[in-house]
Amino acid sequence: MPDALLEPVGLGATESALYLHVLSTPRCTTTQLAEAVGATPAQVRPALRRLVESGLIARIGGRPARYTAAPPGAAFDALAERRHQELEELRGHLRELAVRYQGATANSPGDLIELVEGPLAMRDRVEQLQLGAEREMLVVDCPPYFSATANDNPIEEQLLRRGVACRVIYDAAALEMPGRMEFV
């Protein structure tokens, strides 16, 4: 079992280890659980609290307190559904922020050209445009460049990891630059 089994639902390695131990050894005390994961009771209490709050384990009354796991199917379904609702709520907030952003940066309908002056302003605008790409980024790559490091574009790498297609038409002069072919 992976150490970060519960990471997709916002819980870490400690919670994962504790959950797996409670699942296989019900009615454990805090001290037993701490020993099982190589920690102190004080270190595992916050993780146990998060597991109880998430519904994956339950605290059994009495002294000392003991813990038992909820049935995994039902517990994970409820937890995944709650996480899904949180993400949908976040998407709603992001849509509102996008509308605000567009309103703040919108030009009048008569503005067909955006004037960007200076190397720093150009770099910032290009980065904004790149970060805004959702499906595809189309580029014409030709000198002169506004950045001295034309061979390095970490935002393009980030877009590729996100699944955004990047298609580039390269000017012949750009490909003749030293080290440029390794970047292509």
Q: Is 40 exposed, middle or buried (0-12, 13-18, 19+ CB in 10 A)?
A: exposed
The pLDDT value recorded for residue 146 is 66
Q: Structural domain boundaries of the chain?
A: 7-71, 119-183
For the stretch 102-120, pLDDT in tens is 776 666 655 667 788 888 8
The predicted-structure confidence for 16-25, as pLDDT tens digits, reads as follows: 889 889 988 8
pTM higher than the cut 0.75? no
The sheet that has 28-29: what strands, in order across it? 28-29, 66-69, 57-60
- Options 3.40.30.10, 1.20.1050.140, 1.10.3720.10, 1.10.10.10; CATH for 7-71 is 1.10.10.10
Reported as a single tens digit per residue, the pLDDT across 52-85 is 988 888 888 788 989 988 888 878 888 888 888 8
Q: What Cα–Cα distance (Å) separates residue 173 from each residue in 119, 151, 152, 162, 170?
A: 21, 14, 17, 30, 8
In this structure, the strands spanning 57-60 and 66-69 are antiparallel
Closest CA to 22 of 88, 75, 67: 67
